[in-house]
């Protein structure tokens, strides 16, 4: 945890690919995340949480829609776009929203429960194939990050569904494993804010 507290980066497996995590409250750590990945500034970095309370820590507001979807689909392949907590650096996202997800991977959940929410992006160089093993992370980012947690091979597969929860109705921004029909069913049909 000292690495993260001191603005360092940690790579770890998630339920899709290996992620590269940093403290979401430290601008130095977020800048390092962009630099190590050679990621374009202004490209939003989502936040992963280890429990439902984590959503409340990083969201400016958790409306009924976001709370119900988190309770229904987390941990799992659903990213919720919610208002960004005003205490989080604007560097994380170019607008006032942030994507938040709880991954369904035991090592990721253990880390996130202990460390708290983390700004996480895939643990690879921008534009390169996503890493699904610690060795692949090492091959792309080795020497640039102080810690890689080896949790075996990540399952890879389809990226999470991203749903905007900031309006009166859910809006799919990226289709993934969770369908709009499943989202509507979880919300009880017609959505009410």
Residue 40 reports pLDDT greater than 90 = no
DSSP 34-73: HHHHTPPTT----EE-SSHHHHHHHBS---HHHHHHHHHH
For the record, the structure tokens of 102 come out as 């709880």
Does 193 reside within a domain? no
Categorize the per-residue pLDDT at 189 as very low, low, confident or very high, splitting at 50, 70 and 90: low
Does 163 reside within a domain? yes
Which of 55, 83, 79, 62 has the alpha carbon at shortest distance from 162? 79
Does 191 reside within a domain? no
Say if CB 20 and CB 3 are below 8 A apart: no
Residue 183 reports pLDDT greater than 70 = yes
Which of 131, 78, 66, 122 has the alpha carbon at shortest distance from 102? 78
Residue with structure tokens 């942030």?
Answer: 98
pLDDT tens digits for range 109-168 = 999 999 999 999 999 999 999 999 999 999 999 889 999 999 999 988 788 999 999 999
Q: What is the pTM of this model?
A: 0.94
pLDDT tens digits for range 58-117 = 999 999 999 999 999 999 999 999 999 999 999 998 899 999 999 999 999 999 999 999
> What local confidence, expressed as pLDDT, does residue 191 receive?
45
> What local confidence, expressed as pLDDT, does residue 94 receive?
85
> What local confidence, expressed as pLDDT, does residue 41 receive?
82
Say if CB 70 and CB 184 are below 8 A apart: no
> What local confidence, expressed as pLDDT, does residue 157 receive?
79
Which of 79, 118, 111, 123 has the alpha carbon at shortest distance from 97? 79
How far apart are the C-alpha atoms of 174 and 159, rounded to whole Å?
A: 9
Does 151 reside within a domain? yes
CATH of the domain at 170: 3.90.870.10
Does 119 reside within a domain? yes
Say if CB 39 and CB 20 are below 8 A apart: no
List the domain range (segments joined by +) for residue 10: 2-186
Residue 192 reports pLDDT greater than 70 = no
Strands 78-83 and 97-101: antiparallel
Residue 190 reports pLDDT greater than 80 = no
Does 106 reside within a domain? yes
Categorize the per-residue pLDDT at 1 as very low, low, confident or very high, splitting at 50, 70 and 90: confident
Does 192 reside within a domain? no
Instruction: Please state the domain count of the chain.
Output: 1
Does 52 reside within a domain? yes
Say if CB 31 and CB 37 are below 8 A apart: no
Residues in the chain: 193
């Amino acid at each position: 945890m000292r690495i993260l507290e001191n603005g360092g980066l940690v790579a770890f497996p998630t339920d899709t690919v290996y992620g590269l995590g940093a403290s979401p409250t430290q601008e130095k750590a977020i800048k390092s995340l962009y630099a190590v990945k050679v990621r374009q500034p202004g490209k939003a970095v989502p936040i992963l949480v280890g429990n439902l309370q984590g959503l409340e820590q990083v969201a400016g507001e958790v409306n009924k829609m976001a709370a119900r979807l988190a309770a229904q689909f987390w941990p799992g392949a659903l990213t919720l776009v919610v208002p960004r907590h005003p205490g989080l650096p604007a560097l994380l996202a170019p607008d006032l929203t942030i994507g938040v997800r709880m991954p369904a991977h035991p090592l990721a959940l253990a880390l996130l429960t202990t460390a708290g929410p983390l700004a996480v992006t895939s643990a690879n160089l921008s534009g390169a194939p996503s890493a699904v093993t610690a060795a692949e992370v090492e091959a792309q980012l080795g020497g640039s990050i102080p810690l890689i947690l080896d949790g075996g091979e990540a399952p890879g597969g389809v990226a999470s569904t991203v749903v905007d929860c900031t309006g009166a109705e859910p809006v799919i921004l990226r289709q993934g494993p969770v369908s709009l029909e499943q989202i509507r069913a979880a919300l009880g049909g017609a959505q009410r804010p």
